[in-house]
Amino acid sequence: MTDIILIRHGETDWNRELRFQGQVDVPLNATGHEQARRLAQRLAQEAVVAHHLVSSDLVRTRQTAQPVLGALLPQLHIDNLTDPDLREQNFGLVDGMRVQDIKDQHPDAWARWLCFAPDSGMPGGETTQQFHARVIGALQRLAQQHAGQTLVVVTHGGVLDMVWRTAQGLGLSGPRQSDIPNAALNRVRLRPGAIDILHWADTRHLQGLPAQPVYDQTRLQGAGGAPPADR
C-alpha span between 167 and 7 (Å, rounded): 16
Element holding 187 (H helix, E strand): strand 185-191
pLDDT confidence band for 225 (50 / 70 / 90): very low
Average the pLDDT over each of 55-59, 82-86, 90-94, 222-226 and give the range with the smallest value: 222-226
Instruction: Give the percent of the chain with pLDDT over 90.
Output: 81
Q: What pLDDT does residue 139 have?
A: 97
Give the model confidence (pLDDT) of 164-179 as tens digits. Answer: 999 999 999 988 889 9
Q: What pLDDT does residue 96 have?
A: 93
Q: Which residues contact 112 (CB under 8 A, 6 or more apart)?
A: 120
Q: What is the mean pLDDT of residues 40-55?
A: 94
Query: Is pLDDT at 216 greater than 80 in this prediction?
Result: no
- Separation of CA 11 from chain center: 11
Query: Is pLDDT at 228 greater than 70 in this prediction?
Result: no
Any catalytic annotation for residue 132? no
- Signed CA dihedral, 177, 113, 134, 172: sign only: positive
**Binding residue ranges for substrate:** 8-15, 60
Q: What pLDDT does residue 231 have?
A: 52
Q: What pLDDT does residue 175 have?
A: 87
Give the model confidence (pLDDT) of 87-141 as tens digits. Answer: 999 999 999 999 889 999 999 999 999 999 999 999 999 999 999 999 999 999 9
Any catalytic annotation for residue 199? no
pLDDT confidence band for 62 (50 / 70 / 90): very high
Which residue ranges form the domains of the chain, and what is each CATH number?
A: 11-187+203-222 (3.40.50.1240)
Q: What is the mean pLDDT of residues 10-16?
A: 95
Give the model confidence (pLDDT) of 14-37 as tens digits. Answer: 998 889 999 999 999 999 999 999
Average the pLDDT over each of 121-130, 137-146, 219-228 and give the range with the smallest value: 219-228
DSSP 22: T
Strands (E) in 139-183, as ranges, are 150-155
List 33, 34, 52, 88, catalytic entry: 88
